[in-house]
Amino acid sequence: MRRSLPGATVVVVGLLLLLDYVIINPVLATLADLVLELVVLLAAAAALAGGVALVLRHWTELVERRGNPPGSLALLAGFAVILLAGFYPGSSGSTDPAVRWIVAALLAPLIAALFALLFVFLLGAARRGLTIRTREGALMLAAAAMVVVLLLPLGGSAGDWLASAADWTLSVPIGGAFRGLLIGVAIVTAVHAARVLLAVNGAEE
């Protein structure tokens, strides 16, 4: 009973939101909005609890000198800086200039550096793909080379043609394949989650 109640609640909420998306009904829309607000509040509470648990864990590791003390210190310092910038007296929260400066001067360069490392990893993956000599690897390299050629910063009519071809490639074949993958993954995940929540036999297969 304890296991079936949360599962049934999740299934009922999911069906309610799905019906609100399919059927136009004011009462159903109001009920769905209330459920969405409750879900947002629960998600915010879970995020807050997760942040507190993360801080406590790294604080314990830093005090007991376990794990990676420099990493724990950096994480706690980052938490402290963001909290001070967002909660000091007179702060406007996420729109405060101090928070915007931290995001623009610290977080954005760090994220850009992490994404820049992807190019190095992609080169390594391409080298391994050429070494293995598989059809899938050759297809992936051909598609990557085509995208790189289409995104070359050229001017004139050639640049305009490449830009138009790049937009069409990203929106039609690549976008269609990406949306298909998302839909397939969402359907499989929803079915498997429902089987696990409802304790259907064979859910672990």
3-state SS track over 14-51: HHHHHHHHHCCCHHHHHHHHHHHHHHHHHHHHHHHHHH
**Hunting for tokens 């990493």 — which residue is that?**
71
Instruction: Assess whether 3 and 81 both reside in one domain.
Output: yes
In a domain, 114, yes or no: no
In a domain, 144, yes or no: no
Instruction: Assess whether 3 and 82 both reside in one domain.
Output: yes
Return d(Cα 165, Cα 182) in angstroms, integer: 24
Last residue of a domain, one of 87, 112, 129: 87
pLDDT at 1: 47
Residue ranges making up the domain that contains 183? 152-205
In a domain, 138, yes or no: no
Total number of domains constituting the chain: 2
Last residue of a domain, one of 32, 67, 87: 87
pLDDT at 39: 85
Listed as ranges, residues in the chain with pLDDT below 50 are: 1, 203, 205
In a domain, 160, yes or no: yes
Instruction: Assess whether 78 and 2 both reside in one domain.
Output: yes
Last residue of a domain, one of 53, 87, 121: 87
In a domain, 173, yes or no: yes
pLDDT at 106: 83
List, for residues 150-203, the tens digit of each pLDDT value.
777 777 777 788 888 888 888 888 888 888 888 888 888 877 777 776 666 554
Instruction: Assess whether 162 and 81 both reside in one domain.
Output: no
In a domain, 186, yes or no: yes
Largest CA distance in the chain: 69
Instruction: Assess whether 80 and 4 both reside in one domain.
Output: yes
